[in-house]
């Protein structure tokens, strides 16, 4: 049985966290990010957040310790309306490769982050108790 009140509360908390640019970094993700930068890897962030949240997302990343990146890709609703997260993220990763980037690793907290095409040499699924995107 699903607890819809619990789900609504979690979504509200997530929404408020996004709006306030207050989502914390996962400590191990931040350590990996810093290590990648130190060895010259260019980092791209690909999120399912809508393009309208680009500024607040960039602010949140910086406040959480992710100070620089090569690309910050957010979902353009008019382009991907009605498309699955896997379709959207696969298409955007393909664009990165077409621009000359080589995806060496792909980390995500949703299966839709790491499934599909052009996922990179290695994929890593992180746990996320907040929500699930099918």
User: CA torsion 28→32→35→36, rounded to 10°?
Assistant: -170
Count other C-beta atoms under 10 Å from residue 76's C-beta. Answer: 13
- pTM value? 0.80
Residue 111 to residues 19, 42, 116: CA-CA distances in angstroms? 24, 23, 10
Chain centroid to CA 102: 18
Q: What is the pLDDT along the chain (134 residues), one digit of tens a residue?
A: 445 454 455 454 445 455 556 677 777 788 889 999 999 999 999 999 999 999 999 999 999 999 999 999 999 999 999 999 999 999 999 999 999 999 999 988 888 889 999 999 999 888 766 666 65
Which token pair is 98? 């077409």
């Amino acid at each position: 049985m699903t607890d819809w009140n619990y789900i609504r509360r979690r979504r509200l908390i997530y929404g408020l966290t996004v709006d306030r640019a207050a989502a914390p970094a996962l400590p191990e993700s931040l350590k990996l990010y810093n290590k990648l930068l130190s060895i010259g890897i260019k980092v791209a962030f690909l999120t399912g957040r809508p393009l309208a949240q680009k500024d607040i997302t960039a602010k949140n990343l910086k406040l959480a310790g992710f100070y620089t990146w090569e690309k910050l890709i957010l979902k353009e609703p008019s382009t991907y309306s009605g498309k699955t997260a896997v379709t959207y993220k696969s298409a955007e990763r393909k664009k990165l490769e077409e621009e000359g980037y080589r995806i060496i690793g792909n980390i995500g907290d949703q299966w839709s982050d790491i499934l599909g095409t052009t996922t990179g040499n290695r994929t890593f699924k992180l746990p996320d108790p907040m929500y699930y995107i099918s």
